[in-house]
Structure 1
Amino acid sequence: MLAIVGPNGAGKSTLMKGMAGALNPLSGGIEIARGTRGGVAYLPQAAEIDKSFPITVFELVAMGLWRRTGLFGGLSKADRHAVEHALAAVGLTGFEARAIGTLSGGQVQRMLFARLLVQDASIILLDEPFTAIDAKTTADLLDLVRRWNTEKRTVVAILHDLETVRQAFPQSLLLARRVVAWGATSDVLTPENLLAARRMTEAFDDHAAICAAA
């Protein structure tokens, strides 16, 4: 379990989108072990979910099965059971026919975690999974993350709550447009490293003119 932390503008979400294959790096590269790409599940920030889209909770969770069913394939009895089991695991039994636009923030996040469950991926990427949700939902979903860890899955999460990182994530990556520290959380989240990361991010000027080539 690895937490990615750093100030706003540090590049955390950009890095994760690159890991998920949603962005191509301008330089360098991202390598994922052969045969693992299909086993990567990505949870974007809740703000990126269009809750006005006319789809039910069951239908959205079932989208996690698309690698197996195809874009237009029907669901088997086993597929439907998998969706129902995932909804039960996140406490959303009885919400199957609800439109996603009627859900609270915490319920939306539970639904998205249910979609991750049916994907059954070996690598799970979470972008701010516990932001703007209630304490009970956070605790329940954190239990799922811990379960994935016991199942030998790789979990990488972008987090802002450093106390949650210290309690639940043994490894951390501290970013500030570049790597400040990477390793055991107790060694990474030191006052010195956190101050350095903040100063490094503040030193960047996003609106600076591009220098002409020499």
Structure 2
Amino acid sequence: MAAQLSFHNVTLGYDRHPAVHHLDGEVAPGALLAVVGPNGAGKSTLFRGIVGILKPLTGSINLGGLDVRDIAYLPQIADIDRSFPISVFDFVGTGLWRHTGMFGGLGRRERDVIIHALATVGLSGFENRTIGTLSGGQMQRILFARVLLQDARVIVLDEPFNAIDAKTSADLVGLVRHWHDERRTVLAALHDMDLVQAHFPETLLLARGAVAWGATPQVLTADNLGKARRMCEAFDDTAAPCADAAPHPEAA
């Protein structure tokens, strides 16, 4: 079976300083993969590379025939400007842009789909609220609702369960499991090792480079976790930039 995602000697970074370096590996279609590692390990940088926000400094990322527009991306809540005066309904509706265009009108069918997505994540009746009035858990639910509307074969979730209550986490884990049952490819950056061990059969342990990648029980060992911590602590952010790569302004 051809890989859904493949990484060939990929180095990603900012101003030519690598944050993820020399990554090789493959993600199979329908995989449910946790990406874990200490703070500063490069998890968000890797995801930005997958969805096309960052261009590789070296190497390549193969999307298995997909365009980056075919990948649903859930960023960290901290990356969302919640002061922007947009309603929950309109925010979730941006998940339909691939089908309607940024300025495409919403017909009855599209409106029904948005309302159904909000009901699926437990936020019926929130359509006219502005996103700035939501709690952290409610905001995470509408991010999941937007991903639902994208109906993508590949789903990339950056810290989807961070700083939310147990009920919200359980509900959203259920959605991830549902996507996995539908044979969608799901990658999630996570910190909760108990959650990873309970729900994610495969894990990439990242510490700027791959420490281990494979079945979760074989990856999340004390030796591997200790090695990842030491690798991140030893990484020199003042190291010389990659000599053979030009800077990418969009990576800043």
Q: After superposition, what is the alpha-carbon deviation per residue over 1:12-46, rounded to whole angstroms, capped at 9, x for unaligned?
A: 11001100111111111111011453321000000
Q: After superposition, what is the alpha-carbon deviation per residue over 1:140-168, rounded to whole angstroms, capped at 9, x for unaligned?
A: 00000000000110110000000100000
Q: After superposition, what is the alpha-carbon deviation per residue over 1:88-145, rounded to whole angstroms, capped at 9, x for unaligned?
A: 0000000000011000000000010000001111100000000011111000000000
Of the three residues 167, 172, 179, the one matched with 1:148 is 179
Aligned-pair identity in percent equals: 63
Q: CA deviation at 1:198?
A: 0.5
Of the three residues 139, 144, 147, the one matched with 1:108 is 139
Within 5 A, what are the aligned runs for 1:118-137?
Answer: 118-137=149-168
1:76 and 2:107 aligned = yes
- Whole-angstrom CA distance in 1 between matches of 2:41 and 2:142: 28
2:73 counterpart SS class: strand
1:178 and 2:209 aligned = yes
Of the three residues 19, 24, 46, the one matched with 2:77 is 46
Counterpart of 2:210 in structure 1: which amino acid?
Answer: V
Q: Who is 1:162 aligned against?
A: 193
- Whole-angstrom CA distance in 1 between matches of 2:186 and 2:240: 38
1:28 counterpart SS class: strand
2:59 counterpart SS class: coil
Within 5 A, what are the aligned runs for 1:1-12?
Answer: 1-12=32-43
State the TM-score, normalizing by the size of structure 2.
Answer: 0.82
Question: Which has a greater percent of strand?
Answer: 2
- Whole-angstrom CA distance in 2 between matches of 1:181 and 1:71: 40
Residues 149 and 155, structure 1, Cα contact 8 Å, conserved in 2? yes
1:29 counterpart SS class: strand
Q: Who is 2:223 aligned against?
A: 192
- Whole-angstrom CA distance in 2 between matches of 1:30 and 1:171: 19
Of the three residues 52, 59, 62, the one matched with 1:31 is 62
Of the three residues 29, 49, 53, the one matched with 1:18 is 49
State the TM-score, normalizing by the size of structure 1.
Answer: 0.96
Note the residue ranges of structure 1 that are not aligned, 5 or more in a row: none
Question: Which has a greater percent of helix?
Answer: 1
4+ residue runs of structure 1 moved beyond 4 angstroms?
208-213
Superposed CA RMSD in Å reads 1.5
Q: After superposition, what is the alpha-carbon deviation per residue over 1:74-101, rounded to whole angstroms, capped at 9, x for unaligned?
A: 0111111110010000000000000110
Of the three residues 86, 89, 108, the one matched with 2:120 is 89
Distance 1:210 1:110, change over 3 A: closer
Residues 36 and 122, structure 1, Cα contact 8 Å, conserved in 2? no
Note the residue ranges of structure 2 that are not aligned, 5 or more in a row: 1-31, 245-252
